[in-house]
Amino acid sequence: MLSKAVSPLSGIRIADFTRILAGPFATMILSDLGAEVWKIERPGTGDDVRNWIPPQINDQSCYYLCLNRNKKSLAIDLEHSDGQKIAKSLALKSDVLMENFKTGGLDKLGLGYEDLAKENEKLIYCSITGWGSTGPFAKHGGFDVIAEAVGGFMAITGPKNGGPAKAGVAVTDMMTGLYAHGAVLAALLQRNVIGRGQKIDCNLLSTQITGLMNIGSNFLNAGLEGRRWGTEHESIIPYQAFETKERRHYVVGAGNDAAFAKLVKMMNLEHLAENPKFKTNKDRVKNRDELLKIMQDRFHEEELKYWQKTLDYPGLPSGPVNTLAEAYKHPQVKHLGLVQKVKHEKYGEVTVTGEENLWPCIRCFLAPPVEFSEAQNEIRSAPPMLGEHTKEILQRELGYSDAQLDRFKHDRVIDF
């Protein structure tokens, strides 16, 4: 049996040329699994999200902090010829290179896949773009909110009969990061078989189109155009949030007829289960408005705490719409250890969820949500300061002397 002290990707080195969210999210997941990630950043400013403030803590952007744990930061000017040479040398010593420049951006710097693969045939090269590496929009820049709009997500997200809304967090970026991380793992496995790396292309638009899932299937196979339902479900009733007496919200999900019967019995509305208008899910969808008004009127009679206690049944998925403070205080969140302390020499030891004053929790770090029985998947170090590891990595990996690094720093090729 393997020791749980083993990290699955221990020994894998990743040259990370990504910034903002999708790419850094992918490399963070890989770093949690033990890969050594060299985050290549622009001297002086670094990753764009370092400057996305407020909020911030000790001059560190909270946005940056959530995406860059376990990484090593190198400040290298890729517009300088010496910076390009240094970056290429690091890429040639890497197992994986990840980048999210505009299509062809790194090719112009001599850091494209074709150039690097000639010298490092085992390199796995993962590009993340907005629209894909080929096609009429390949040269366009992309952001999560644009992919949500163009990819149909905002047409089905928002208040019922209201205007479009984006998700509360950048879900398309995050999904793309998850696809990219999975693709890299698959390529690493295949490399063990075929003995060489390969090029991987991920993009926000493809991720979002794929992410339409059942709503997309409804259109492609039944010609049913999507629409906004608020928290309601198009094909399952009831499956939504209901307003309570004090204008909070409680969510229930009755995924089948038995669950519906149990729910209405617990709400003292058991007669609804025998009503032919509501007996089956198909009936409930057909008579949606009538049923939901009855249920909403009942929810308005009691406060949130009443519904939390009354509907607390393992076989019936339900729960309140929590604030962030309430979410982080949830007993299951605490049990899973999802918020952890991390110490950094510059910004010290962070606090943990559970204190009465929750504002300091903005300095906390969320742990990896996946547990392994035989391996580590963990936070090992806090997000790095800009250029914190430039000297360490360039000396260890490329053998530069102090004098050489000082000259590069003087010439503004690197910073540390």
Return the pLDDT at 357: 41
Q: Which of 89-93, 252-256, 346-350, 367-371 has the lowest mean pLDDT?
A: 346-350
Q: Which of 182-191, 274-283, 334-343 has the lowest mean pLDDT?
A: 334-343
pLDDT one-digit tens code per residue, 152-185: 999 999 999 999 999 999 999 999 999 999 999 9
What proportion of the chain, given as a percentage, has pLDDT over 70? 95
Return the pLDDT at 354: 31
Contact 64, 49 (CB under 8 A): yes
Return the pLDDT at 168: 97
Q: What is the mean pLDDT of residues 396-409?
A: 98
**Number of Cα atoms under 13 Å in the Cβ half of residue 412:** 6
- Residue 343, pLDDT > 90, answer no
pLDDT one-digit tens code per residue, 136-155: 999 999 999 999 999 999 99
Return the pLDDT at 146: 98
- Residue 352, pLDDT > 70, answer no
pLDDT one-digit tens code per residue, 43-73: 999 999 999 999 988 778 999 999 999 999 9
- Residue 349, pLDDT > 60, answer no
Ramachandran class of 178: left when φ > 0, alpha when ψ lies in -120 to 50, beta otherwise: alpha
Contact 320, 306 (CB under 8 A): no
pLDDT one-digit tens code per residue, 200-234: 999 999 999 999 999 999 999 999 999 999 999 99
Tokens of 272: 């609804």
- Residue 350, pLDDT > 80, answer no
Catalytic residue chosen out of the listed positions 16, 32, 77, 173: 173
Return the pLDDT at 1: 39
Q: What is the mean pLDDT of residues 313-329?
A: 96
Per DSSP, the residues of 288-349 read HHHHHHHHHHHHTTS-HHHHHHHT--TTS-EEE---HHHHHH-HHHHHTT-EE--EETTTEE
Q: What domains can you pick out in the chain, each with its CATH number?
A: 13-213+373-415 (3.40.50.10540), 249-320 (3.30.1540.10)
| Average pLDDT along the chain | 93
Is residue 16 among the annotated active site residues?
no
The structure's pTM equals 0.93
Alpha carbons 197 and 106: distance in angstroms, whole number: 18
Residue 184: closest CA among 112, 102, 128? 128
Tokens of 304: 């949130």
Return the pLDDT at 355: 38
- pLDDT band, very low/low/confident/very high, at 348 (cuts 50, 70, 90): low
Contact 152, 124 (CB under 8 A): no
Return the pLDDT at 276: 97
Ramachandran class of 84: left when φ > 0, alpha when ψ lies in -120 to 50, beta otherwise: alpha
Return the pLDDT at 283: 98
Residue 383 DSSP class: P
Tokens of 90: 């690091």
- pLDDT band, very low/low/confident/very high, at 347 (cuts 50, 70, 90): low
Alpha carbons 156 and 227: distance in angstroms, whole number: 5
